[in-house]
Structure 1
Amino acid sequence: MSYKYVTLKKEHFITTVTLNNPPANTLSSSCIAELRSLFQELAADDDTRAVIITGEGRFFVAGADIKEFVSKLGDQEQGLALAEGGQALCDEIEALKKPVIAAINGPALGGGLELAMSCHFRIVSDEAVVGLPELKLGLIPAFGGTQRLRNITGTATALDLILTSRTLSAHDAVELKIAQLAVKKEELLKTATAVAASFIEGKSMTSVMRAVECIIQGSNESMEQGLERERKRFAELFLTSDAKEGIHAFVEKRKPDFHHS
């Protein structure tokens, strides 16, 4: 399938999704719809075991397409549809059972930061800034930002960042655990690729996908529910050929030859 707003690169089972919607990679409704279709395809693509999202040019994602809001003002249903579309995209990214890494090459603001926070791991370049400035527009974050930022930083810090609308440097984003690593811009994709490879190389995707599911879904469940899910997925793996291969390889002191089944 051809795409209008993204370019794809697949190498060593890692798919790099580069947002390319100049000048600032804003998330219009049509861009969001395309990304949703893309991630549904990646979920079913056996040749994709990890995903990297980055931006073309100076921006990661400057935010939602604010110009698109003008014609929708005064219509509550239109506002609800905008929020639902953005939340659906971020929910689908977060729920992907394959590791998703945001390589934040430049400003990630508003919907851009919300998109990044839906990824499982975030790396920022030293030229990146992040923030949720929606209150300056008389709005609030609506692609999941109020909830994901609170889950990452805690309530007080989320209130601070959203109510002040201030932006953070790459260093500050790491300090607050909004990102896990900060690197020089020229090292960003190389680092993201190395991280993605470390998540999947030498491992069975049958276990990788269940681990991602347990961690991500468990964050929205009670401890009891999360532990129940963990028990069930662990037991399911006992039926797989990869678990049999992994255990025998360990006992025989050799590298496993996984077939991801």
Structure 2
Amino acid sequence: MKLLINEWRKYIKNTRSVSIITTIFLLVLIFHFSSLDSEDSNEVFSFSIIICYIFIKFISIIYASNILSSEISKGTIKFILTRPYQRYKILLAKIAAITLLMPVFLIISVITCLLLQILTTQHIPEFSIIIKYIGIYSLCILATIIFFTAFALMLSSMFNSSPLVTGFCIVYGFFADRLWEMINYYNIHVPGDEWIYKLNPLYVNSYLIKLISNTVNNTFDQPVQSEFFITLAANIAYVLIFFLIAILIFRRRDISLAS
């Protein structure tokens, strides 16, 4: 619990990057609402919540890619290692801290969207729609956070460079599915309906998000539901693999060599 509280304190102190990203987010929202053509308040809110999801996905990747790599590069991780904490608990606390923090960003983002929508359109979406979209994109955010935090921890346990880990995580987070589509199109030629296509590590997270998003259009039927649980199990398996690799490397790494 102390490790978790310490992680939250670090995030609270790191207000500079959050304020910059929040400013960009608000500018994007203002531009979105100023260019609205639709009079359907539910549709307007739907586009707004998608913007919120992309924003929180980005900020979670930024946080995840810096939680360990920056501490190793600066040498501050040595102070944590002097305390009687097992190394796997240190990594687990970092995942838990981000996982619990990002829903707070979602709530703040949704409230901001609703306020801007009321100010610009003088209409508010149906309460059932608000609850539905929040539930759907909460699942999306949790899947994204846990997956990329474990992936970032694995990279951070290998490399000291925080910019390198951050850049790699951003590319992986937003372009891995397109990279896989290009690789498959030019070299492998696996049909898109095959499980090896859907569940490979470059595509599984994006496919899980697509299945969750199908509930927006009320297409979460029995076959899609079965695929969802299979894809979720694969996503969790990759998270465990990333986390175990991070633990194995971090336990054997000589932190005193970090610059």
TM-score, normalised to structure 1's length? Answer: 0.28
Report 1 or 2 for greater relative contact order, CA contacts < 8 Å, sequence distance ≥ 6.
2
* Larger strand proportion of the pair: 1
TM-score, normalised to structure 2's length? Answer: 0.28
* Larger helix proportion of the pair: 2
